Amino acid sequence: MERLTRQRIAIATVIEAARRPLSPQEICDAAQAHVAGLGVATVYRTLKAMIAEGAVRGVELPGEPPRYEPTGLGHHHHFRCDGCARVFDFDACPGGLDALAPKGFVSERHEFVLYGKCPECAARKRGVGTRARR
Ligand SMILES: [Zn+2]
Ligand SMILES: [Zn+2]
């Protein structure tokens, strides 16, 4: 198989399997298990093509570079771990948020992010698990 195709398949597989939005570096690290020597520049290039095709979308948290997830996931929200900086999906939604819009405004969608500790980081002793990881 052509190297370009193998790279593309590896990147798509990593994004699909993650079940959470990944940074380009996380995608690169995981895809290297499939394609040795894969570089982050290739990941960026491939992501750009996949976004243009509508297969992948960016997830933007305030003040952070975008992470990427497959399009076509159902309605869901994100949890960012302050311990390891990973972002996770969750399906729960309070609903009824449209009703919070000021009088006369028509709310059509919403976004929110929960911040805290993932189970791994929460299990670590306080003050020990604060290393940053992308
Ligand atoms: Zn964590
Ligand atoms: Zn929601």
**Separation of CA 129 and ligand 2 centre (Å):** 30
Query: 111 alpha carbon to ligand 2 midpoint, in Å?
Result: 7
Going residue by residue through the chain (134 aa), what tens digit of pLDDT does each one get? 787 799 999 999 999 999 999 999 999 999 999 999 999 999 999 999 999 999 999 999 999 999 999 999 999 999 999 999 999 999 999 888 888 999 999 999 999 999 999 999 999 866 554 555 55
Bridge partners (DSSP) listed for residue 4: none
Q: In this structure, are strands 113-116 and 77-81 parallel, antiparallel, or unpaired?
A: parallel
Q: Are the CB atoms for 77 and 86 separated by under 8 Å?
A: no
Q: Phi, psi at residue 95, to the nearest 5°?
A: 70, 170
Quote the CA–CA distance of 60 and 21 in Å, as a whole number.
10
CA 54, distance to chain mean position in Å, is 16
For residue 46, the CA-to-ligand 1 centroid distance in Å is 27
Q: What spacing in Å lies between the alpha carbon of 96 and ligand 2's midpoint?
A: 9
Q: What is the pLDDT of residue 128?
A: 55
d(CA 21, CA 91): 14
Token pair, residue 87, equals 């972002």
Question: Rounded to the nearest whole angstrom, what is the distance from the C-alpha of residue 99 to the centroid of ligand 1?
Answer: 33
Angle between helices 24-31 and 3-18 (to 10 degrees): 120
The rounded Å distance from CA 127 to ligand 1 centre is 13
Q: What is the pLDDT of residues 75-112, one digit of tens each?
A: 999 999 999 999 999 999 988 888 899 999 999 999 99
Answer whether 71's CB lies under 8 Å from 55's CB.
yes
Domains and CATH numbers, the chain: 3-70 (1.10.10.10), 77-123 (3.30.1490)
Query: Are 44 and 7 in contact, with CB atoms under 8 Å apart?
Result: no
Q: What is the pLDDT of residue 80?
A: 97
Q: How far is the CA of 100 from the centre of ligand 2 (A)?
A: 13
- At residue 126, the pLDDT reads 63
**Cα(92) to centroid(ligand 2), Å:** 7
